[in-house]
Structures are given as C-alpha cells and as structure tokens.
Structure 1
Amino acid sequence: MEVSTTSNQETVNQVYDYAANQLVHGGKSAAEVEQLLQEQGLDAESAGIVVSNLQGQIKQAQNAQAKKDMLYGALWCVGGTALTLADIGFIFWGAIIFGGIQFFKGVANLK
C-alpha cells in the first residue's frame, strides 16, 4: 500500500513540476498548459485544477517578492534621506534613487 501511495505522490509531483515549468519558464499560457497536460493523459478537470493551483501559488510568490521590493526600497530611500539630512557632508543620491526605484517596482508588481 505504501509503495502505491509513494508512486502516486511522485506522479502528482511530476505533473505539477511539468506544468509549473511550462507556465514559468516555457512562457505558456494557462490554456496551453492545460492542453499539454491533457495530451499527456490527464483529464480536463484535473488539468484545470493543476493549472489553477499553480497560478495561485505563482501569484502568491510574485506578491511576496513585490512586498519585499517595497520594504527594501523604502528602507534604502528613507535611510539615504536620513543620512543626507544628518548633514555629515555627503548626499546619498544613490541610495535615495535606488530605493525609490525599487519601491515603485514593487508597487507596480503587486497584484
């Protein structure tokens, strides 16, 4: 019984790996990936579930990265501004501009 369960889990993992690779690295649309999965022998409902689950996970990962970009961008910008206003003889344009760009990149990527 355990061999069958392990075998089934490996098969599911392979299907998800294949679909994720096609979505992320292959540049395929959700409909194209569903079609590819059906060509590999998966029924239409299961293919739809796999693609839907992966799209949710991809969106979560993109949102997490966007939030990190916003946080680190804000820290760089505020830090550069604070050091500039501390009047230690330097203007930290690089940190301010880099932070601003990174922050707005995060805002633009947040979905």
Structure 2
Amino acid sequence: MENQTTAVEALNELYSYAADLMVNQSKSVDEVQKALIDKGLSTDAAYTIVSKLEDEIIKAKKDAAQKDILYGALWCAGGTIATLANIGFIFWGAILFGGIQFIKGLVNYFSAE
C-alpha cells in the first residue's frame, strides 16, 4: 500500500512539474517532453503526461471562454432590454461591456486548440 502511495505522489509531482512548465513558464510541448525524459521518464510516459495536460488546458480554456460568452450575452441583452424599456437611461456601458466580453469569449473558444 505504501508503494502505491509513493508512486501516486511521484506521478502527481511529475504532472505538477509538467503543468508548471507548460502554463507558468510557457514551454512548448516538445520542451516539456524533453524535460520529463531528462527526469528519467520513457518517451511514451512523457508523451502521455503532456497529452493529458494539453487536453486539460484546452478544456479549461474552453470552459472559461464559455463563461465569457454567457456573461457577455447576458450583460449585452440586459443592457439592451433596459434601454428599450424606455426608463429614461441608455445602458451603453452594459451593452458595450457585454458585447466585448461576448466577442472575447468567442475568439478564445475557437482559438483554444
């Protein structure tokens, strides 16, 4: 049981190391794979770790972009509805902010891969 815990901890450390290289240090996939191989991993193991991390990073970017799309649409629609309700104000800030956030979300969503 203790050997399994040690192996899981070692694997988690490798994933954390690779994630740090990819996200915080902006290293390329090839650079991260080489760094993992230099730490003693096989080429296949390094490729597997980097592939899984790459998938998770793309998923996280798409999730964040979807939130921007949703909130941007809500701000823009809310500002438009409030303006059209003719309560005496033009909610251009909400419309503009929402539109920018919506477009930013669309661009980020489609450029995540």
TM score, norm. by length of structure 1: 0.97
Say which SS state the counterpart of residue 7 (structure 2) adopts.
Answer: helix
Distance in structure 1 (CA, Å) of the matches to 2:20 and 2:93:
37
One-letter code aligned to 1:73:
G
Runs (4 or more) in structure 1 with deviation over 4 Å come to none
Q: Does 1:100 align with 2:108?
A: no
- Flag structure 1 segments of 5+ consecutive residues without an equivalent: none
- The two structures, once aligned, show a CA RMSD in angstroms of 0.5
Alignment of 1:78-97 (within 5 A): 78-97=77-96
Alignment of 1:47-66 (within 5 A): 47-66=46-65
Displacement of 1:93:
0.6
- Flag structure 2 segments of 5+ consecutive residues without an equivalent: none
Paired-residue identity, %: 50
Displacement of 1:40:
0.9
Distance in structure 2 (CA, Å) of the matches to 1:60 and 1:27:
17
Displacement of 1:28:
0.1
Alignment match, 2:76: 77
